Structure 1
Amino acid sequence: MYELIFTVCSVVIGASCREANPIQLDEHVGAIGCLIASQIEGAKWVEAHPNFYVARYTCQPAKTYAHT
């Protein structure tokens, strides 16, 4: 199982970026599926948060992300 982490930046406050909470993907989704899901989930995230854009995404095994 993988999780998807977006680094998002504000369009209102310049150079203000942060990592969003990880998105848990289904158990059957592998590394390639995570890359494909990044496009879909990124579009959904930006639609729900119009003052931000996704600057970067990371796919990694679930439960390895340490949110700081």
Structure 2
Amino acid sequence: MVFCLIADPTQCRTVTPLIPDDQYLTMSNCPIAGQTEGARWVDEHPNYRMTRVRCRIGNKPKEQSI
């Protein structure tokens, strides 16, 4: 996710949220989860606004043998 200062939109930060081990993001649910996490981040950093959510395919969780 990319967040830029409201007062100076050229000053931006890229933030990669930590996803708990028991959750797995797919390309279909990543944009929605990104919006949720972005809103949470903006609540904690009110001088910023979210400018982009970028999803990429990562490592699939390891399958467990039973």
Give the TM-score normalised by structure 1: 0.67
How many pairs were matched up?
56
Unaligned runs of 5+ in 1: 1-5, 64-68
Structure index of larger Rg: 2
Question: Which of 52, 56, 59 is equivalent to 1:60?
Answer: 56
Moved over 4 A (4+): none
Instruction: State the match for 1:34 in structure 2.
Output: 30
- Judge conservation of contact 1:24–1:62 (CA < 8 Å) in 2: no
Percent identical residues:
30
Q: SS in structure 2 opposite 1:8?
A: strand
Q: SS in structure 1 opposite 2:53?
A: strand
Unaligned runs of 5+ in 2: 60-66
Which one has a larger percent strand, Structure 1 or Structure 2? 1
Shift of 1:18: 2.5
Give the TM-score normalised by structure 2: 0.69
